[in-house]
Amino acid sequence: MKRALVAAAALLGLASAQVTLTGAGATFPAPLYTEKYIPTFSKLANVKINYQAVGSGGGQRQLLDKVVQFAGSDAPLTDAQMKEYQDKTGSAVLHIPAALGPVAITYNLPGVNELRLDADTLAAIYLGKIVRWNDPRIAALNPGVNLPRQVISAVHRSDGSGTTYIFTAYLSAISAEWKSKVGQGTAVNWPAFSSLANRGNAGVAGLVQKSPGAVGYVELAYALENNLPIASVKNAAGNFVKPSLASAKEAAEGVDLPKDLRLVNQVVNTKDPAGYPIVGMTWLLVFQKQEVTAKSREQAKAVVDFLNWVITDGQELNESLKYVRLSPKVVNQAKALIATITYNGQKL
């Protein structure tokens, strides 16, 4: 009988000795998390981590439902959300940054190898005001390029997405029409009626790859990994810049973060002449009072260890996948935040 109970407990994972962490959220940093951070840290600390790339919105929701220990998000919680989380769980949410990355505009136009776009054109495409590739407004940006008469399919995310948040923050920052008609968020009311949607950064990349005439926005790693064509985007200084580690770094430099590291408007429309204008920061969201989501002190400790590792040694891995590492100043700010994490009132 006892043996049966033990077997049942083992089956249900109650008796496993290894600490397991569950996280969910953003697909934007998912390659970095699932291919770099988690394999490396797991070997180092003997902690099993399961990160499900369900989208930033999904991560936020699962954190609130207390079914994960950390959420990945490239959209910071809004003030209203911060209050809601505090009210429902009794704990504040901390935003621990992990990396920055550019959002690439990728497209599928056989024969077109170079494409230039700016915020107003992009807004017009996603608003459904520009419906064909040979529209004069696109042609004006691309002299000498033979643009087809094809209908544009504007691909966006079907799930709540931090990448959408960064992209719409960028459009809202420049296009007044976009700001008033659509606005900025993890999910918005997409106006263009020839728009297609798919789940996750990978889903958008896959859909663009499969659909001639499509344009979409994905984190740079997704475009590079799959050799998708990438458009140059006009920045505030008037230069057309391609997303790259260097141009994103330029943009990220000198960005001032508030004390709680919630950068509401992301890193868009940089003044830097060599900077790429659509760059976003991605965070790991955790509860300050770890007992809200941690099942044990060991688990809470593992969360803190993981966070501390991500902002220090983990940063060494960022550039291998073209993510920008955090500046020393941000790392120090993040360290101070992590130090405030408690488990049942005790420091960890």
Partner 1 sequence: MRPGGNLERRKLFDRFMLGLLILGSLLVVAPLVLVLGKVFLTGLSALNLAFFVEPYRPLDEGGGGLAHAIVGTLMMNLLALLIGGLLGLAGGILLSEYPDHPVNPFLRVISDLLNGLPALLKGLVIYTLFVIPMGRFTGLAGALALALVMVPIVLRATEGVLKLVPWSVREAGLALGLPRWRVILSLVLPSALPGVITGLMLGFARAAGEAAPLYFTAGGNLNLSFSLGDQVESLALTIYKYAGEPSPVRQEQAWAASLVLTLLVLAAGLLARWATRKR
Partner 2 sequence: MEPVQTRSIHVSQSPLYRALGDRLFVGAILVLCLLVIGIVLVMGWQLGSAGSEALAAFGFWGFLSGSTWDPVQNIYGAWPFILGTLLTSLGALALAFFPALAVAIFAVEYAPRWLGSALSYALELLASLPSVIYGLWGLFVLVPAVRAVQESVYFWAADYAPFLLPLLGNPIGIGMTSAVLVLAVMIIPFAATLAKDSIALVPAAQREAAYGLGATKWEVIRLAILPYARGGILAGVILALTRALGETMAVVMVIGNSNKLPFTLFGPATTIPSAVINEFGEAQGLQLSSLLALGFILFLISGALNLLAAWIVKRMSVEGRL
Q: Could you tell which of partner 2, partner 1, none binds residue 50, using a CB distance below 5 to 8 A set by kind? A: partner 1
Q: Could you tell which of partner 1, partner 2, none binds residue 153, using a CB distance below 5 to 8 A set by kind? A: partner 2
169 contacts partner 2 (rule: CB under 8 A): no
**DSSP secondary structure code for residue 34 in this structure:** I
Binding partner 2 by CB under 8 A: which of 16, 50, 146, 194? 194
Number of neighbouring beta carbons within 10 Å of residue 211: 14
Q: How far is the C-alpha of 248 from the C-alpha of 102, rounded, in Å?
A: 6
> What x-and-dash track marks residues 51-70 binding partner 1 by CB under 8 A?
xx------------xxxx--
Is residue 48 within 8 Å of residue 2, measured between CB atoms? no
Q: How far is the C-alpha of 332 from the C-alpha of 335, rounded, in Å?
A: 5
Number of neighbouring beta carbons within 10 Å of residue 74: 31
Q: How far is the C-alpha of 292 from the C-alpha of 63, rounded, in Å?
A: 10
Binding partner 2 by CB under 8 A: which of 45, 145, 197, 236? 197
153 contacts partner 2 (rule: CB under 8 A): yes
Select the span of 71-79, 119-127, 194-202, 252-260 touching partner 1 (CB under 8 A).
194-202
160 contacts partner 2 (rule: CB under 8 A): yes
CB of 193 to partner 2, least distance (A): 4
CB of 57 to partner 2, least distance (A): 3
Q: How far is the C-alpha of 306 from the C-alpha of 334, rounded, in Å?
A: 13
Q: Which residues inside 50-109 make contact with partner 2, applying CB under 8 A?
A: 54-62, 64
Binding partner 2 by CB under 8 A: which of 199, 234, 301, 322? 199
Number of neighbouring beta carbons within 10 Å of residue 159: 19
210 contacts partner 2 (rule: CB under 8 A): yes
Binding partner 2 by CB under 8 A: which of 74, 118, 120, 159? 159
> What x-and-dash track marks residues 1-40 binding partner 1 by CB under 8 A?
---------xxxxx-x---x-x-x------x--xxx--x-
Burial class (CB in 10 A: 0-12, 13-18, 19+), 28: buried
Per the structure block, which two tokens stand in for 263?
Answer: 């950068």
CB of 95 to partner 2, least distance (A): 17
**DSSP secondary structure code for residue 152 in this structure:** P
The CA-CA-CA angle for residues 14, 15, 18, to 5°, reads: 100
The one-letter code for the residue type at 162 is G
205 contacts partner 1 (rule: CB under 8 A): yes
199 contacts partner 1 (rule: CB under 8 A): yes
167 contacts partner 2 (rule: CB under 8 A): no
**What is the 3 state secondary structure string of 293-330?**
CCCCHHHHHHHHHHHHHHHCHHHHHHHHHCCECCCHHH
Alpha carbon 219 to its chain centroid, in Å, reads 8
Per the structure block, which two tokens stand in for 281?
Answer: 């920061």
CB of 216 to partner 2, least distance (A): 13
Which positions touch partner 1 (CB under 8 A)?
10-14, 16, 20, 22, 24, 31, 34-36, 39, 48, 50-52, 65-68, 198-200, 202-203, 205-209, 222, 225-226, 228, 293, 295
Which positions touch partner 2 (CB under 8 A)?
54-62, 64, 151, 153, 158-160, 182-199, 207, 210-214
